[in-house]
A and B are shown apart, each in its own frame.
Chain A
Amino acid sequence: MIALRILRHRLFWPIVALVLLVAINTLSRPSFLSITIKHGALYGSSIDILRNSSQLMLVALGMTLVIATRGIDLSVGAVLAVAGAVSLTYIEASPEPGSVGTVTVAVALGLLVTLVLGAWNGFLVSVVRIQPIIATLLLMFAGRGIAMLITKGQITTVTSAPYAEFASGVILGLPVAFLIAVVVVAIVGLLVRRTALGVLMEAVGINPEASRLAGVQSRGIIWSVYAISGLLAGMAGILYSSNIMAADANNAGLNIEVDAILAVVIGGTSLAGGKFSIAGTVIGVLIIQTLTTSITFLGIPPAVTPVFKAVVVIVICLMQSRRVRGLLAVRRRPVAPSVPGTAAIDASAAVSK
């Protein structure tokens, strides 16, 4: 019975996929899991994956909330680029690029701008009632233009030790980028699950009209999830620009929206809105990041990388599909002796269809 419950858990297949990916990597290169300590910092492929996944983690987290309300945010990549552009342009122009004060203001400025951009998306969706895909498509294109305007078409590069800490710093042996992602995931997780925000978001996502009739202020909720998504994309932008110490308006966060949506879907949150899982998204992000890393390790030519990714994603999504599970269950049925209580489970499956 417990085995059955584990098997039916919605994170079962994503976790299996992650474990499988790690296993394949370890088999092909036994050093994959090994971690060494150099100069007080942990080194190893798995640590790299954790550090590199932090940007996607932040973006996908915001995407999860947006998708839970039946929306989608295509502008995250562009917003990410804007954050880097704003912060680095401020640092470049300041007389003391290396001071902590300058970096603090730069980061605050970058996050403020992205919060405003996210709120703009939220305004278009919740007040003007433009379809989310169209509303955020505007900023997906316009955002990179804004970033270009800010950097005046140049790739702004700076030298600032405190700013570099975000991507390459180490605290207690762990990458700062990873720790930032962990803290933010924890805060957002507490915010949505320890307050009623999560349930209200799900209610709005599942049935907007019934939620309205129950007195839920869907406008405010939808508005704030887009603002949060913008803010989180901004944080990712800071990490990205800190990593290369440059604001690249064209390539920062390119196609990250696609990876983020994939991570959310792999994590079991339906694009139709409603029930969402932050833990699922975290696993989804780790799968995507491990996949990206292992493609390099396994020596798969970059040209076929998208195909490889697509295959893995399709398999995971198929395993999660209720219909496919149903087909597998039907095939198993004749073997299993009929247990009292299974009839009820079948009936519930029939009803929930």
Chain B
Amino acid sequence: MPSTVVAELRDITIAFPGVKALDGVDLVLRAGEIHALMGENGAGKSTLIKALTGVYAIDSGTVEVGGRPRRFSGTADAQAAGIATVYQEVNLCTNLSVGENVMLGREVRGRLGIDWSATHRAARTALELLGLQIDTRTSLSSHSIAVQQLIAIARATVLESAVLVLDEPTSSLDRSEVEQLFAVVRRMRDTGVAVLFVTHFLDQVYELCDRITVLRNGRRVGEFPTAELPRRELVSTMLGRELARLEAIEDRALAVGAADSTVPVLRVEDLGRKGVIAGASLELRPGEIVGLAGLLGSGRTELARLLYGADRPDAGHAEVHGRPARLSSPRAALAHRIAFSSEDRRSEGIIPDLSVRENLVLAVQAQRGWARPLSRTQQDAIVERYMTSLGVQPPMPARSSATCRAATSRRCSWAAGSPRIPSSSSWTSPPAASTSVRRRRSSVRSRTSRPAASRCCSSRRSSRRSCASRSASTCCKTGISSPKSSTRRTSTWMTSSP
């Protein structure tokens, strides 16, 4: 089916201080096609999207929309040119009503200014197309994140755009909501909209997309029709490594997982917090990665926060290395060398105006107290160690962390100080597999904890962070993946069995 090109990015280069985020990347979006943008963490996906939607200025290269060269000076510009974007983090006004959010800037006008009832009617129609039956006069903040995500998409449909950019729209949706979303995206495709879809879920790519562009380290590896790129090859294309080598890691990982006679590093029993989690139990052994899986709202994040003391547990007890421990605050948890990497990097992870160095040593300094400052040499040692082991690019410790890309700043956000147990909430949400796969063995285990909170299941990914300490065990949270993976030990790098 020959389809017309709606938007074309050619030879796009964007440089940040010291690093080329994009280096001569091409991207072609065709009408009536869903195009997946794939690549591991830091490959440049978000940067490319931001180049298309006018957030970043392009250093060199051309953007053509509808056959005409364009130069967007901002998102409003891009929107006017017919490019609608739905971001991973919902970008709506929580204090406005649902209808106002959907129709913002597109209100129906009557003789006396805005005709509110007609506006809300139009919003309702747009929402119903997505299968959402909600009162458009309710406040946006009264709805769950998933519903807000769908509302954001409804807003994009109202704009009648030629290009719809979906930046990880499914990361906070459950299965049925994803189905709902996909149905809408397909319908939009059939009306001739070009869709750019970014996700980390390989299943979803094969379910939905017609074409795949793969990025690696800021360069385009290639563009493939989905049918011609089997899943395993996609993974190795994204990673730039041979399949055989990845398979070898899989075997080793399973071998490590087999031994479980050791004393757990962290054990919690009936850990709970009123109105949040009704008692969850969990064991974490040395050298282990335990995933917490569950539907949205099942308490994955909440349990991770309790393990770290980010929220104070009001029931249950915890043991670290077999000895009772009170995990009542982040400070207490850090004292037991439990670290935490928040899913909300920007608001909970980094201190934006401080340098990468200051961010890296902050937790260690906080433990020592203000009166015992780390000397420059000690700081350098910590910074050097973590910059190398976590692969912070570019290695510029003096740089303000606010200017780092997402992938970099996430690595910087992590509390240093050779903690033993990174309790992570969703930092694995960036893509399948990562460089650390080759760095160390990681085991993925199936483990069952008590009901409400979570059924622990295998994580799809290995831990970047696990390389921090040889004895690190990791507890990480993942979105629900394919049903198979919860009953079966999978390798660390596959989304699901091929």
Scan residues 263-306 of chain A and give those whose CB is less than 8 A from a CB of chain B: 274-275
- CB pair A213–B340 under 8 Å, yes or no, is yes
Tell me, in angstroms, the Cα distance from A213 to B308 when the chains sit together: 9
**Does B97 make an interface contact (CB < 8 A)?**
no
**Does B182 make an interface contact (CB < 8 A)?**
no
- CB pair A343–B370 under 8 Å, yes or no, is no
- CB pair A215–B370 under 8 Å, yes or no, is no
**Does A202 make an interface contact (CB < 8 A)?**
yes
Tell me, in angstroms, the Cα distance from A339 to B403 when the chains sit together: 21
- CB pair B354–A199 under 8 Å, yes or no, is yes
Contact of A196 (CB < 8 Å), options: B14, B308, B365: B365
Contact of B374 (CB < 8 Å), options: A196, A197, A216: A196
Chain A interface, >50% SS class:
helix
Tell me, in angstroms, the Cα distance from A203 to B413 when the chains sit together: 12
Minimum CB–CB distance from B361 to chain A (whole Å) comes to 9
Closest to A197 in B: B370
Tell me, in angstroms, the Cα distance from A126 to B459 when the chains sit together: 40
**Does B90 make an interface contact (CB < 8 A)?**
no
Minimum CB–CB distance from A312 to chain B (whole Å) comes to 27
Closest to B416 in A: A214
Closest to A199 in B: B358
- CB pair B330–A347 under 8 Å, yes or no, is no
- CB pair A213–B310 under 8 Å, yes or no, is yes
- CB pair B330–A213 under 8 Å, yes or no, is yes
Tell me, in angstroms, the Cα distance from A350 to B73 when the chains sit together: 11
**Does B17 make an interface contact (CB < 8 A)?**
yes
**Does B27 make an interface contact (CB < 8 A)?**
no
Minimum CB–CB distance from A273 to chain B (whole Å) comes to 9
- CB pair A344–B330 under 8 Å, yes or no, is no
- CB pair A215–B17 under 8 Å, yes or no, is no
- CB pair B400–A352 under 8 Å, yes or no, is yes
Of the stretches A29-37, A133-141, A204-212, the one at the interface is: A204-212
- CB pair B354–A344 under 8 Å, yes or no, is no
**Does A28 make an interface contact (CB < 8 A)?**
no
- CB pair A209–B403 under 8 Å, yes or no, is no
- CB pair B342–A206 under 8 Å, yes or no, is no
- CB pair A200–B370 under 8 Å, yes or no, is yes
Residues of A within 8 A of B17 (CB): 344-345, 347-348
Tell me, in angstroms, the Cα distance from A176 to B351 when the chains sit together: 41
Residues of B within 8 A of A209 (CB): 347-348
Tell me, in angstroms, the Cα distance from A199 to B351 when the chains sit together: 11
- CB pair A200–B365 under 8 Å, yes or no, is yes
Residues of B within 8 A of A275 (CB): 353
0/1 interface trace, chain B 333-360, chain A, CB 8 Å (1 if under) = 0100000101000011111111000100
* CB within 8 Å for A210 and B370 given contacts A215-B363, A346-B57, A347-B56: no
- CB pair B362–A216 under 8 Å, yes or no, is yes
0/1 interface trace, chain B 81-115, chain A, CB 8 Å (1 if under) = 00000000000000000000000000000000000
- CB pair A343–B366 under 8 Å, yes or no, is no
* CB within 8 Å for A206 and B353 given contacts A196-B368, A344-B17, A344-B18: yes
- CB pair A203–B351 under 8 Å, yes or no, is yes
Residues of A within 8 A of B330 (CB): 212-215
- CB pair A343–B415 under 8 Å, yes or no, is no
Minimum CB–CB distance from B48 to chain A (whole Å) comes to 15
**Does B402 make an interface contact (CB < 8 A)?**
yes
Residues of A within 8 A of B403 (CB): 348, 351-352
Closest to B405 in A: A351
- CB pair B353–A215 under 8 Å, yes or no, is no
Minimum CB–CB distance from A20 to chain B (whole Å) comes to 29
Residues of B within 8 A of A195 (CB): 370-373
* CB within 8 Å for A210 and B363 given contacts A196-B370, A197-B370, A343-B59: no
**Does A217 make an interface contact (CB < 8 A)?**
yes
- CB pair A344–B16 under 8 Å, yes or no, is yes
21 contacts between A and B (CB under 8 A): A195-B371, A195-B372, A196-B368, A196-B370, A197-B371, A203-B358, A206-B351, A207-B348, A207-B351, A210-B342, A210-B351, A212-B310, A215-B331, A215-B363, A215-B366, A216-B362, A275-B353, A347-B16, A348-B17, A348-B403, A350-B56
Please name 9 further chain A to chain B contacts, defined as beta carbons within 8 Å, in addition to the given A200-B366, A207-B350, sorted by A numbering.
A196-B373, A200-B370, A206-B353, A207-B348, A209-B347, A210-B349, A212-B310, A275-B353, A350-B57
Name A's B-contacting residues (CB within 8 A).
194-197, 199-200, 202-203, 206-207, 209-217, 221, 274-275, 343-348, 350-352
